[in-house]
Chains A and B, each alone.
Chain A
Amino acid sequence: GDSVTQMEGPVTLSEEAFLTINCTYTATGYPSLFWYVQYPGEGLQLLLKATKADDKGSNKGFEATYRKETTSFHLEKGSVQVSDSAVYFCALTEDGNKLVFGAGTILRVKS
C-alpha cells in the first residue's frame, strides 16, 4: 500500500537558519502531495500542496517540489522563526479521500 516516510526529529535550529525536512513516498499511481502543520495545542492545518510532478507548492515562506523521479516532496524554508516551531506532517492521497500521513517531524526553533 501507499506510505510516507519522513525524517525523524526533533529538528532543532536557531532562528534564521535554513530548514529542510525530508519526505519520500511510495504510491501505486500519481498521488497529490501535502504538507500539514500542527502548532502546539492546535489542529492540523494545510501548509502547502502539489498535485503533479514538478509542481512547487509554497506558503508562508515554505516550499516543496513534487519530484516524481525521486518520489520526494522535501519541505524547505530559507529562514525559520521561533513561531515555526511545530510538528510537520507529509501526506499523500491517490483518490482525494484517504490521506496517508508520515509520522511527523518535530521542529524546534531557538531564538
Chain B
Amino acid sequence: DTGVSQDPRHKITKRGQNVTFRCDPISEHNRLYWYRQTLGQGPEFLTYFQNEAQLEKSRLLSDRFSAERPKGSFSTLEIQRTEQGDSAMYLCASRLGPSYEQYFGPGTRLTVT
C-alpha cells in the first residue's frame, strides 16, 4: 500500500509565473484534501473533493488558485501569477469513506522569488 504522493517535492519559481502541483491519493480513497502550511503554523484547509466533485473551498483560495480532480483519482492544484505570499508547503491528504482519518502526503514546498 503506497501512501499519498505529491510531485514535485520542491518548486522554486519567479513571481508572476504559473505553477501546478500533483497529488496521488491512496488508491480507493474517495476524498482528497488540499492544505497550505506556512512556517511555524499548522496546516490551513484550502479545498476538498469527493470523487471528482469539488465540494468546499476556503476563502484562502483566491481566484488565482484552481484545483481539479478530473477522474476522481489524482488531483492538481494550480496557482496562477504567483506572489511571494504564496510561498508555503502545500499538503495533500486523502480519506476513505466514513472514517475521519486523513492521511497526508509529504508536501510540495513552493518558494516564490
Contact = CB atoms under 8 A, between A and B. Distances in A.
Interface string B82-100: 0000000001010100101
B42 A104 contact: yes
Interface residues of A, number: 23
B45 A99 contact: yes
A100 B91 CA distance: 14
B91 A43 contact: yes
A103 B39 CA distance: 10
Interface stretch (A13-21, A45-53, A68-76, A78-86): A45-53
B2 to A, nearest CB: 13
Contacts of B31: 97
Contacts, number: 55
Interface of A: 4, 32, 34, 36, 42-46, 49, 51, 89, 91, 93, 96-104
Contact of B106 (A42, A91, A98, A102): A42
10 contacts: A4-B42, A44-B43, A46-B102, A89-B42, A89-B43, A93-B100, A96-B100, A98-B45, A98-B48, A102-B42
Interface string B56-90: 10100000000000000000000000000000000
Contacts of B43: 44, 89, 99, 101
A46 B42 contact: no
Contact of B56 (A34, A43, A89, A97): A97
Given A98-B48, A98-B56, A32 B104 contact: no
A91 B42 CA distance: 9
Contacts of A102: 42
Contacts of A97: 31, 33, 48, 55-56
B35 to A, nearest CB: 7
Contacts of B102: 46, 99
Given A49-B101, A93-B100, A97-B31, A103 B48 contact: no
